[in-house]
Amino acid sequence: MIRALVACSLLTVSCSLLAGGQPGANDLRLRLSDLESLTAEFEQTVYAAEGDVLQQASGQIQAARPGRVRWQTEAPLEQLIVSDGQTLWLYDPDLEQVTIKPFEADLSKTPAVLFIGDLAALEQSYSVTWEEGENTLFTLIPISADSLYEKVTLSFQSNIPVAMALWDSLGQKTDIRFHNVQRNPSWTPAQFIFVPPEGVDIIGDE
C-alpha cells in the first residue's frame, strides 16, 4: 500500500508549477522552460517522521511534455505508472491489477508530474525560495491548506535535476535521487501507452 501511495503521490508534484514574480519561481522556471523530455534512473527512500526507513526502491523515469510519464520501479517493489497526458495507468504485477483513471483527476488538487507541466502559475500554488551551494536548492511551500505535501525541495546541478524531497502532513519524507539524467532525449508516443496484460484485474475506466 505504501508503494502505491508514494508512486501516485510522486505524480502529483509539479504540473501546475511555474510562473513568474517570485525570484525563486523565475529561476526555477528558467531551468525547466527548455526541458521538453527527460530520462533518468532514480533511488527512492521513504522515511517515517521519526527518521526510520519505511521503504527503499529504485527504477527509471521517462517523461515528456505535456503530461507524459513512465515511472517504473524495479523488483522487489515492482510497479509501473504510465500516462499519455490523458489517461493514467497504475500497474502492480504482484497484485495482477491495473488501475485506470483520467490523468486530469490527479491534477485537480495538487501540482502534478515533475518536469512535464505547462510552466504556468507557480506563484499561485507555492511560495518559492532558493539557496546556492554545491547544488541549487529550491524550496516550495504550498499555499493551499489542502495540498498533499507540506514542503517540496528540488535540487539542481546547473540545469540538471539531481534530487527531490517531499514532506507530507504526517511528517513522512520521501527522498529521491536522480542519476544518469538525460535532457531532451528523443521519444515516441508508444512509450507512454500501456496495454494491460491479459488476465489482470482492471479497476476504473478502460
Residue-level pLDDT at 143? 83
Compute the average pLDDT of residues 110-118.
56
With a cut of 60, say whether residue 201 has pLDDT above it: yes
Range among 17-26, 54-63, 97-106, 107-116 rated most confident? 54-63
∠ at Cα 19 (29, 72), nearest 5°? 55
C-alpha–C-alpha distance, residues 169 and 112, integer Å: 17
Of 109, 167, 106, which is closest to residue 139 (Cα–Cα)?
A: 167
- Segment 170-192 mean pLDDT: 95
* pLDDT band at residue 14 using 50, 70 and 90 as cut-offs: very low
Q: Which of 6-10, 30-34, 56-60, 150-154 has the lowest mean pLDDT?
A: 6-10
More confident residue, 19 or 116: 116
Identify which has the larger pLDDT, 175 or 114.
Answer: 175
* Average of per-residue pLDDT across 28-55: 92
CA–CA distance, 78 with 59 (Å, rounded to integer): 9
- For residue 192, the 8-state DSSP code is G
Determine the Cα angle at 183 with ends 179 and 189, to 5°: 105
Among 142, 115, 121, smallest CA distance to 14 is for 115
CA distance 205 to 199: 16
d(CA 88, CA 90): 7
Alpha-carbon distance values, 65 to 36, 37, 135, 181, 190 (Å): 5, 6, 25, 16, 14
- C-alpha closest to that of 91 among 10, 3, 13: 3
Q: Are 71 and 9 in contact (CB under 8 A)?
A: no
Res 117: pLDDT: 65
Residue type, 201: D
Cβ(182)–Cβ(79) below 8 Å: no
Residue 55 pLDDT grade (very low, low, confident, very high; cuts 50, 70, 90): very high
Instruction: Name the residue with higher pLDDT: 64 or 120.
Output: 64
Distance CA 169, CA 167 (A): 7
The reply to whether the predicted model has a pTM over 0.85 is no
Taking residues 137-143, what's their average pLDDT?
89
Predicted pLDDT at 119: 61
pLDDT of residue 18 exceeding 50: no
Q: How many CB atoms lie within 10 A of CB 170?
A: 8
Say whether pLDDT at 38 is over 70.
yes
| Mean pLDDT taken over the chain | 83
Give per-residue pLDDT as tens, 82-112: 999 889 999 999 999 999 998 864 333 434 4
Residue 160 has pLDDT above 80, yes or no: yes
